Each structure stands twice: as C-alpha cells, then as structure tokens.
Amino acid sequence: MTLISVVVPCFNEEKVLPHFFSAITEVAGKMTAVDFELLFIDDGSTDGTLSLLRSFAQKDRRVRYYSFSRNFGKEAAMFAGLEKAAGEYVAVMDADLQDPPSLIPEMYDAVQSGEYDCVATRRKDRKGESLIRSASARLFYKMINRVSNLKLVEGARDFRLMSRQMADAVLSMKEYNRFSKGIFEWVGFRTKWIEFENVARKEGETKWSFWKLFLYSLDGLAAFSTAPLAIASFVGIILFIISVIMIIVIIVKTLIWGDPVAGWPALACIVFFVGGIQLLCTGIAGQYIAKSYIEIKGRPIYIVKETNAHDIKP
Ligand code: UDP
Ligand code: MG
C-alpha cells in the first residue's frame, strides 16, 4: 500500500495537539486505500508536548516522534521530518489546525494522478491578522519576487503534500540558513495550488512575534538574493555623480563670486551622510559574511534527544 508521511513540527503545542491528533486520525481513517505515518517533531518544547507525543505513540503504531535537545526553529523541525519520512508522499503541516487536515484527500488525489509532483496551499485572505502584519507581508513578497529569481506565491503556507522525488530534492539542499518557502520554489516541479480561507489557530498562541517574522524575512532575502550586496556599488555610483556635479558648481561659484569658505554645515552633513551609507553597506556585506561563516562550520541543523523510532519495526 502507498505510504503517506505527515510531518508535524510542534513547539509548545500541548493545548492543541489532542485536537490535531483526533483530526488527522479521522482523515487517515477515511482514506482506506493508503497507509499513514505520523511524524511529530518536538522542537524543544518546555510544556507537556513530549509526554503527549509519548502517549500518542503508545496508542497508535503509526506515530513516530523525534524530540530535539532544544528549540531549533520550525525550519529545522521540517527538515528533520522530511529526513525521517519514509513515505512515497510526504506532507508537512502545522499542529495548530490552521492547515486543515480535511484537505489531504483532495491533495492526495492530485499528486497521485501523476499530473502534479506537489500540491501546495495558500490562504485567500489574512482575516484575523493585524493590518501592519498583512501590509508588511505583502511588501516582503513584492520585494523578494523582484530581487530574487523566485516567484513566491503570496499567502502560501508551508502546508503541502509532495512526491518522494521532490522531498529528496528539498533534502538535497543542506543549507543551514533554511527558508522553506524559497526552497520549495527553487527545486521546481509541477505544483498545484489549492486555496482555502484563513483559519484561526485553534488553541494556544502564535510562536512568531513581529520581530521574529521580520528577521525571518531578512534571512529569506539573504538566502535567495545577493541584490542587497549590489546596493553598495549602486549608491557609490550615485554619490560619485553627485560629488562631480557639486565640485563643478563650487569651482564655478568661486570663480564668479569668490566665496570660498561658505557651506561648512553642508559639508558636515555630507560627511555624516556618506559615513552612514558606508556603514550600512559594510553592514550588509557583513551579514552575508556572517551567513557564510555559519554555513561553513557545517553544524547539524538539529539534534535529536529522544525518539520512539527504534521501537518500531519496519
Ligand atoms: N513551530 C516550531 N518551532 C518554532 C516555532 C513554531 O516547530 O520555533 C511550529 C508550531 O508548533 C506550529 C508551526 O510551527 O506547528 C507554526 O507555528 P505558529 O502556528 O506559531 O505560526 P503562525 O501560524 O502563527 O505563523
Ligand atoms: Mg499557526
């Protein structure tokens, strides 16, 4: 029988996990033609998430869990899940029921027909989200689509079902600074998009503060574009042109009116302005160097502390 692996990153999700577990087992129960494997990745939770996972594993043989030694982030958890997944198809979804499990049968039908390698989901709206959050998300998508070769779909969620082949392609990208939305696009393959209405988180609260999202978006930009590095050269050229014009103006003014010392406040402003731009550009270059430094160390993306995987016989 065909095996579908469902990868679920969980970070402090004790409130919502029981709901999620009953929802996913209900869907799995209805899809009698396929086998399921439920891979829960506990991303260093400090609440009762791990003990819940242990109890799920006890009642249901399809459950496998991996518990990290600390919080490594959702990207690391998704990567771990994809690495451990054995299925011919692999799904990734959030634990908070914002990714409706009821869509899985429809997604499976589309990939299984062979017409698509992947079925991805996007939400039609951002109901229940603050205006600033939606506006900055929109700005981010505009920007990254312009400065990188990616075409990211606005409102895309990480919730998707993909073929083994595509999952392996994603796994072949072993970078430490992971930005999955970009990676999924970068590997290519035929993707079908399904839309659904935004669902509010069932229980608990979001793990992403505005600041964390902002840093994540910068990571995404840096991971898939080197355009910010070009800023230095661009600004340099503009400033050079401006300074040539200013020199000509000053020479002409001095020759005609003989006015050599005026304008030192303007000079001070220019020194600050140019100094600021130089620091900004060095800072941008520094960010890329820092990222290369982290990559080159080749540290593991995650560390597993506990799992029930060895108890399960294939
Ligand atoms: N998550 C995780 N590690 C983290 C943060 C989040 O594994 O450091 C998981 C979380 O448990 C959930 C999913 O990633 O299953 C999405 O997180 P959340 O719902 O908080 O994000 P939002 O939907 O608000 O963007
Ligand atoms: Mg959520």
**Ligand 1 atom with minimal separation from the 12 CA:** 11
Pair (175, 251) in one structural domain: no
Ligand 1 centroid–CA 80 distance in Å is 15
For residue 199, the tally of other CB atoms under 10 A from its CB is: 14
CA of 50 to the centre of ligand 1 (A): 15
Examine the domain organization and report whether 256 and 121 are in the same domain.
Answer: no
Residues 54 and 178 placed together within one structural domain of the fold: yes
Rounded Cα distance, 4 and 36, in Å = 5
Best CA proximity match to 202, nearest among 99, 50, 54: 99
What is residue 308's predicted lDDT score, i.e. its pLDDT? 87
CA 31, CA 29: separation in Å to the nearest integer?
6
Nearest CA among 28, 66, 82, 55 for reference residue 309: 66
Could you tell me if 190 and 243 lie in one domain? no
245 C-beta neighbours (distance < 10 Å), count: 10
> What is the pTM assigned to this prediction?
0.82
Number of domains observed in the structure of the chain: 2
* Ligand 1 environment, Cβ below 6 A: 9-11, 13, 43, 71, 73-74, 77, 94-96, 98, 201, 206-208
Per-residue model confidence (pLDDT) at position 247: 83
Closest ligand relative to 13 C-alpha: 1
In a domain? residue 123: yes
Q: CB-based burial of residue 164 (10 Å sphere; 0-12 exposed, 13-18 middle, 19+ buried)?
A: middle
- The enclosing H or E element of 27 equals helix 17-30
* CATH code, 60: 3.90.550.10
Whether residue 254 is found in the same domain as residue 205: no
3-state secondary structure of 298: coil
Asked whether residue 194 is domain-assigned, the answer is: yes
Within a domain: 312: no
Ligand 1 atom nearest to CA at 95: 15
Give the Å distance between the CA of 250 and the centre of ligand 1: 59
Q: Say if residue 197 is in the same domain as residue 57.
A: yes
What is residue 118's predicted lDDT score, i.e. its pLDDT? 94
pLDDT by residue, tens only, the chain of 314 residues: 899 999 999 999 999 999 999 999 999 989 888 999 999 999 999 999 999 999 999 999 899 999 999 999 999 999 999 999 999 999 999 998 889 999 999 999 989 888 899 999 988 877 767 788 888 888 888 888 888 888 888 888 899 999 999 999 999 998 998 899 899 999 989 999 998 888 777 777 788 888 888 888 888 888 888 888 888 888 888 888 888 888 888 888 888 887 766 677 778 778 888 888 888 888 888 889 988 998 999 899 999 999 988 766 54
- Please list all protein residues whose beta carbon sits less than 5 angstroms from ligand 2, which is an ion: 96, 98, 201
| Position 220 in a domain | no
From the CA of 213, give the closest atom in ligand 1. Answer: 25
- In this prediction, residue 196 carries a pLDDT of 86
Q: Is the domain of 268 the same as that of 150?
A: no
**Domain match, 79 and 14 both:** yes
**Residue 45 within any structural domain of the chain:** yes
Looking at the structure, tell me whether residues 204 and 257 fall in a common domain. no
- Rounded Cα–Cα distance for residues 74 and 301 (Å): 11
Domain with 49 in it: 2-209+300-307
Structure tokens at 179: 């930005």
